[in-house]
Amino acid sequence: MTTDRSLTVIAGILGDCTFNYICFVAESLSTILPNFHYRSISKSSARWDCWLKETCDLHGWTHTKSPLIWREIGLSRSHVTYIGGSSQFWELLHNYYDISLYLSKEELDALQTDLLFACNIKKQRSKPLQIQKKYRQIMIIGAGRSMCPDLVPQLLMTKELWMTHGIVINLYDEPGCFFKLRKIFRDAGTIGAGINTVHIVENIPDGLKDCDILIYLDSLTREEYEGTDNWLQRNYKIIANLCTHINEHAPSHMKVIFCSMNLPCFYANIMMELVTKLSSTNIVVASAHYGLELIYTFVNSLGLNLQNFGCPPVWGFLGINHFVDVHHMIQKYDVYCPNKRALNSNENMILPLGTQHSELRWFFYKTHDKNPYKNYLKRKALLRYQMGTSEDFPKCRAICDLLKLWYSNKKSIRDEIISLGIESDGSFGIPKGLVFSQPVYLKEYEDGSRVWVPFRDFPMPNMPISIFQSLIDTGIYVKKKIIELKNSSDATK
């Protein structure tokens, strides 16, 4: 900080739209101009006149209405320069920064409503909790993503997550996504009869405090003509920063679920390297949605009932490669077994001629000569054309089904086999320590802890072993890049 540092102070009545507009502009400027700093002082209309008189008497100013703006220069802020009101502030912006702004009355009214809404949220968040924590706290990073408006209601209605005071969901995204989060906040108010609540947090540390579940949806997309190394490095820095916050602010029991559009296994492997506070078994990557997206069109194209199928296993280093093994998808099939009476049956026979029972079978008998991706890719392209985004329901379903199992009260939970990206223990030829999507089940230990472990008896994917090995080799290569980035980062500290 230099001795000539300038701080612009903006004071006014909270209900004054001009004051709020100037604060909004100042906040925006402070994020893009490195040398622009400001502080706002808001007073109620009842206290404004008294405060204004005291301030003007102190500095020898003459000012009559909101807002009041001045500058404080230097480390001690002892050199105070009067600027004036709104007109003088706009002149200052024009003279110093060549910025001219104008909003219509309708736009000012809309902005005023949003800013007051944000102020109320900040006040609610600043109130201390009066009761001991009896709720499940979830944080969603990347809450501005298209799937979040569907995900939040589903989480709030997941009974397995409920505690005596329900669920608290903290939403976070980068500045600029506030208006998306506001809609989620408002819609969530109608769910849970007031027990469940949704908050918007301004920074990651606030959301990580006492957090039970962290759901990471954010991602940095690859820019045009951007090299792979640079893309991985940008993403590494984001997750490395998150890991620092987790080590400092998160509780040790917190669970982390990655379900981002890009590089979720890459993110999880980074976290395995950098996070020291969490157990590696608490960090997973949702992957069932890859299978859910595929089987919808595939099973329907065969004229079969979707509810009789389990989700196909998903293998791969998600975000870079994956394989949905529809051949080893499980189908519930009704089988009719005739008895001896059926050999001599006639039209007047009223006794049963056999029995019917259900059995589970691999779906290979139907898929060995079919291309499951043909109709799926057409449907996916059509959705992107019509909606401008991919389908979000399978992702929400994958996350919620995962949490239902993880927090289920059932005593026997080992029968459920799902696809999940976890740290490998060496099963299926996947190197130990590599986060890779594979069939897993939930193992419960004597102390009550639950850990996702590979289901070793599951068949290998129906693909040439050389291709499967290439999926693994890609993950190994990226894991080495993570180590290189980590070493490079440590060397520059």
pLDDT in tens, 11-45: 998 778 888 888 888 887 887 777 778 888 888 88
E-assigned strand segments in 136-179: 136-141, 167-172
Residue 123: pLDDT over 60? no
Residue 217: pLDDT over 50? yes
Overall average pLDDT of the 239-251 stretch: 94
Residue 130: pLDDT over 60? no
- Model pLDDT for residues 294-333, shown as the tens digit of each residue: 888 787 777 787 777 888 999 999 999 999 998 888 888 7
* Among 200, 176, 174, CA closest to 187: 200
Write a three-state SS string for 419-441: EEEEECCCHHHCCCCCEEEEEEE
- Model pLDDT for residues 327-368, shown as the tens digit of each residue: 888 888 788 777 776 677 677 766 667 777 788 888 877 777
Q: Alpha-carbon distance 453 to 471, whole Å?
A: 20
Sorted by sequence, the CB contacts under 8 Å of residue 423 that are 6+ apart come out as 272, 280, 281, 283, 433, 434, 435
Between the two ends of the chain, the Cα-to-Cα distance in Å is: 21
Q: What is the pLDDT of residue 212?
A: 95
Q: What is the pLDDT of residue 193?
A: 47
pLDDT: which is higher, 286 or 31: 286
Q: Alpha-carbon distance 439 to 454, whole Å?
A: 6
Residue 268: pLDDT over 90? yes
What does the DSSP 8-state code read for residue 44?
Answer: -
Q: Alpha-carbon distance 396 to 145, whole Å?
A: 12
Overall average pLDDT of the 420-428 stretch: 95
Residue 263: pLDDT over 90? yes
Sorted by sequence, the CB contacts under 8 Å of residue 444 that are 6+ apart come out as 413, 414, 450
Confidence of residue 286 (pLDDT cuts 50, 70, 90): very high
Confidence of residue 102 (pLDDT cuts 50, 70, 90): low
What share of the chain in percent tops pLDDT 70?
82
β-bridge pairing 417-423 and 435-444:
antiparallel
Stated length of the chain: 493
Q: What is the pLDDT of residue 91?
A: 83
Q: How far is CA 486 from CA 228, 236, 483, in A?
A: 17, 9, 5
Q: What is the pLDDT of residue 388?
A: 55
Q: Give residue for tokens 């702004």.
A: 101
Q: What is the pLDDT of residue 1?
A: 40
- Model pLDDT for residues 159-195, shown as the tens digit of each residue: 889 888 888 999 998 876 777 788 888 877 767 545 6
Residue 63: pLDDT over 50? yes
pLDDT: which is higher, 66 or 391: 66
Asked if residues 357 and 333 have their Cβ atoms less than 8 Å apart, the reply is no
Residue 430: pLDDT over 50? yes
Confidence of residue 120 (pLDDT cuts 50, 70, 90): low
Q: What is the pLDDT of residue 493?
A: 64
Residue 141: pLDDT over 90? yes
Q: Give residue for tokens 């979830």.
A: 138
Q: Alpha-carbon distance 130 to 405, whole Å?
A: 32
Residue 471: pLDDT over 70? yes
Q: What is the pLDDT of residue 117?
A: 63
Q: Alpha-carbon distance 371 to 375, whole Å?
A: 9
Pick from 3-7, 85-89, 276-280, 310-314: least confident: 3-7
Residue 131: pLDDT over 60? no
Domains for the chain: give ranges and CATH numbers.
6-126 (3.40.30), 286-328+363-492 (3.90.110.10), 330-362 (no CATH)
Q: What is the pLDDT of residue 431?
A: 95
Tell me which range, 34-48, 73-87, 106-120, 275-289, is most confidently predicted by mean pLDDT.
Answer: 275-289
Residue 241: pLDDT over 90? yes
* Among 202, 264, 212, 201, CA closest to 238: 264
Tell me which range, 63-67, 90-94, 162-166, 432-436, is most confidently predicted by mean pLDDT.
Answer: 432-436
pTM of the model: 0.70
Residue 46: pLDDT over 90? no
Q: What is the pLDDT of residue 2?
A: 46
Burial of 467 (0-12, 13-18, 19+ CB in 10 A): exposed
Question: Taking the alpha carbons of 295, 301, 304, 306 in that order, is the dihedral positive or negative?
Answer: positive
Q: What is the pLDDT of residue 140?
A: 95
Q: What is the pLDDT of residue 311?
A: 87
* Among 151, 471, 484, CA closest to 317: 471
Q: What is the pLDDT of residue 28?
A: 79
> Mean pLDDT over all residues of the chain?
83
